[in-house]
Amino acid sequence: MLLRKLRISTIAIVLSILTIHASAGPLELERTTRISPKFLEGISALYRDATREVVATGEFTLPGTTGCSVTPLACGTERSGLLGPGDCIPGSDGTYMDIWTFQGIVGQTVTITMRSESFDSYLYLANPSGGIVLGDDNSAGALDARIEFTLTETGEWGVVANQLSPAGGPYQLSLECSASINCPVQIRGTTCGGIIAGTIDATDCVREGLPVEFWSITGTAGQNLVVTANRTSTSGSVGLVISDEAGTTLATDSPDDTTSSLSVTLPATGTWVITVVGTAALEYNMTIDCQSLSTCFGTTDSLCLNDNRFRVTVVARDPRTGRSAFGQAAPYNDINGFFTFPGLTQDAANLEVFVKVLDGRTNNGHFWVFYGGLTDFAYTLTVFETSTGRVKTYNKPGLEFVGGADTSAF
């Protein structure tokens, strides 16, 4: 058993005598002291865009010292520090420490690493209430410390950069935060029509640094889905994402306004997920309009060909990465059109698939479908006949430059 003492005044963080087990891995403390009702009392924290970088001002005061300064630590950064005379002294062991803070979100996984060539590094992680939740001595190898932890609440968390024994010298401190938080996903079912009232707040899941809510709806291949979300509270912007159950995005609208709207043609029958994205805690109303299958609506993801009789969509997969994306339609005329895949190429002008639907009924009584691959992506082309509801799908394998023809399609 290794006995360490770490004490900070009640104005800031108060950590009493800590008994910890000596180990090569992370150390869970046997006792947590929660004194301050608000972690880092007297500190002003501000958000900067979606990076959640914290700007802190103020200073802790410790008995017998001139005070403990608090420094902000942003996700994805590495900072330099210096332990030595003039720093906080946590207790009777004579070691020095620095206090850093970062803004964390529930469900987010953070990795904190402290390295030094001058002393044996030691790290503590404190929750927003001021309680120590984890300590570590050498999980980063040699004399370096590392803590990896999934945050249990949203707020300002503290990092205490300490040392195993008294020694002065420089150190490096880094903080990595997960951009997508794999928090439990609660998907609520809904149906077409009506108005849905929702609220996004700090208790919701976070994806790419933004809070989100999930809704699901069952749709039919060829159906046109129009989703609109309006912010009803006084601040924040709202956005929308429509994807399949596997997470492949069909359409997206960034959260940069008080209203967000998407219109898509469903390429397959099944369950579709609507994600409402907020830039902050907000309230919203959402409407879902499922339009008739008997009409082709020209949307960003579908071509309407041959006098709007046929709706064509495509989904592609990059065989090198496994990533998938729905095609963006580039109409040409009533019988021809193209698709691009900006979700894979980041270029909406790069034509990848050519499609043509001809009326060949005077020859053999059928409509003819032709398609050509201008890409080595694998893709599935779906052609929906609005007047009958019949659907044909065509698959092109990856890493091949081939097309196809079906002269008895419909």
pLDDT by residue (tens digit) across 134-192? 889 989 988 899 999 988 887 778 888 888 888 889 999 999 987 555 455 567 888 88
Q: Which two tokens stand for residue 277?
A: 């994205």
270-294 per-residue burial string, b: 16 or more CB within 10 A, e: under 16: eebbbbbbbbbebbbebebebeebe
* Residue ranges of domains in the chain: 2-177, 187-291, 303-406
| pLDDT of 242 higher than 70 | yes
Kind of pairing, strands 310-317 and 324-326? antiparallel
CA dist., res. 43 & res. 143, Å (int): 32
Q: What is the pLDDT of residues 326-350, one digit of tens each?
A: 788 999 999 999 999 988 899 999 9
Tell me the whole-structure pTM to 2 decimals.
0.45
User: Can you tell me the mean pLDDT for 29-45?
Assistant: 24
**222 exposure class (CB count in 10 Å sphere: 0-12, 13-18, 19+):** buried
Instruction: State the DSSP code for 51.
Output: G
Q: Which of the two residues, 271 and 23, has the higher pLDDT score?
A: 271
**pLDDT: is 333 or 243 the higher one?**
333
Same fold flag, 2-177 and 187-291: yes
Four-residue CA torsion sign, 128, 134, 139, 145: positive
Q: Each residue of 71-117: pLDDT tens digit?
A: 888 888 899 999 888 777 665 677 888 888 887 777 778 999 999 99
Work out the percent of the chain whose per-residue pLDDT is above 90. 23
Distance CA 185, CA 221 (A): 25
Distance CA 213, CA 286 (A): 12
pLDDT band of residue 43 (cuts 50, 70, 90) is: very low
Q: What is the mean pLDDT of residues 251-264?
A: 82
Would you state the pLDDT for residue 145?
Answer: 94
Alpha carbon distance 162, 143 (integer Å)? 12
Residue 214 in this model has a pLDDT that exceeds 80: yes
Q: Specify the fold of 2-177.
A: Jelly Rolls (2.60.120)
Beta partners for residue 253, in sequence order: 240
pLDDT-based confidence at residue 351 (cuts at 50, 70, 90): very high
Contact 135, 162 (CB under 8 A): no
Retrieve residue 280's tokens. Answer: 């902050």
Q: What strands lie across the sheet with 366-373, from one edge to the other? A: 328-331, 336-340, 351-360, 366-373, 404-406
d(CA 249, CA 351): 19
| Residues 292-304: tens digit of each pLDDT | 666 676 677 889 9
Distances (CA, A) of 349 to 66, 140, 199, 327, 346: 62, 46, 37, 12, 9
Please provide the average confidence, as pLDDT, over all residues in the chain.
Answer: 76
CATH 3.40.50.11820 fits 187-291, yes or no: no
CB 241 within 8 A of CB 277: yes
Query: Which phi and psi angles does 273 have, rounded to 5°?
Result: -105, 130
Q: Percentage of residues in the chain with pLDDT exceeding 70?
A: 77
Within a 13 Å sphere around the CA of 348, how many CA atoms are in the beta-carbon half?
6
- At residue 222, does pLDDT exceed 70? yes
> Could you tell me which residues are beta bridge partners of residue 265?
224
Maximum pairwise Cα distance, the chain:
98
**E-strand stretches of 116-237:** 121-126, 132-136, 145-150, 155-163, 169-177, 187-189, 195-200, 205-207, 210-219, 224-231
